[in-house]
Amino acid sequence: MEIDEALDEASFQFASAEVFRCPNGCGKLSYDRHDKVSGGAKQVTFVIGLVCLVFSMIILVQGIDAELGFAILCAAALAFGYSLFAGETTAYFYCIKCRGGMLDSKTIINKIGEEKALTIQRELSRCKAGEKICPSCEERMNRIPITYVMPDRGGGGDLVGALVVATIQAMIPNKKEYLDLDGCPSCGLFWFDSGEMSNVSLSESMGRDVRRRVARESVQLSVGGAENTNCIHIDDLTEKKCRRVTFRGTQYCYMHQEK
């Protein structure tokens, strides 16, 4: 155990000495350990443990109910233990300005889960290059379009109100959310802008965003039966087709010629 801790610390010190720059142009990235359990959650748990401890002492001292007092005392001990020791840490590079984070293929599994990480890694090689530059090899990172669904939020109020809200939420499918992640096919590094890692980690399901692929395939199917005179370019932001005419026998207009 001590050898593993020593190797982990040596690895941490070695990695922290490396210099990478934020792909958003903010400056040098920092390297630190990050808890899977947030500091806020630990503080709340500590307060709960403190309250349980006070109530258990009152119950035991006044002799109200010994079993109840010991049960609350055990709950206090569990709460204190959780607040002090819970939360496996994951070390990775992050930007203190834009709050983005850079993870490698191993760290991303520890942070968001194996199934989601493998989904992102599989899509990396199928995607096209975007605008962000890889902090390691300085090549363009691929844009990885994904879709995810966030879990239902619990309803507030009394028990009846919460049950009504839960019933309605179960009947209505959750809205799909979309975002583009960035990954380097050469280095295996992934960049998450602020909030993206949290959304992916908390999502109940995640997959590839197929909207652009379907749109492009629908355009390509129209080519062949009749001569196509319109550019087949699909805008990445608006998902709209270009209306310009094709240029010199190609499938694209003069603005969207393939490089």
Domain locations in the chain? Answer: 40-85, 99-209, 210-259
Predicted TM-score (pTM) of this structure: 0.55
Q: With pLDDT > 90 as the criterion, what percentage of the chain qualifies? A: 9
200's torsion region: left (phi>0), alpha (psi -120 to 50) or beta?
Answer: alpha
12 vs 96: CA distance, rounded Å:
18
Which amino acid is residue 48, in one-letter code? Answer: I
Q: Which helix (H) or strand (E) holds 199?
A: helix 196-202
Give the three-state DSSP class for 68: helix
Q: Tell me what pLDDT residue 32 has.
A: 79
Q: Tell me what pLDDT residue 215 has.
A: 47
Residues of the chain with pLDDT under 50: 1, 4-7, 9-10, 12-14, 155-157, 214-226
pLDDT tens digits for 118-165? 888 888 888 888 889 999 888 999 988 888 887 765 544 455 555 555
Q: Tell me what pLDDT residue 187 has.
A: 86
Q: Tell me what pLDDT residue 42 has.
A: 67
Q: Which helix (H) or strand (E) holds 82?
A: helix 66-85
Q: Tell me what pLDDT residue 171 has.
A: 58
Q: Tell me what pLDDT residue 152 has.
A: 60
CB-CB contact of 191 with 101 (8 Å): yes
Using CA atoms in the order 1, 32, 82, 206, what is the torsion angle rounded to 10 degrees? -110
**DSSP state letter for 141:** E
Q: Tell me what pLDDT residue 182 has.
A: 92
Q: Tell me what pLDDT residue 88 has.
A: 54
Q: Tell me what pLDDT residue 95 has.
A: 92
**DSSP state letter for 241:** B
Q: Tell me what pLDDT residue 219 has.
A: 47
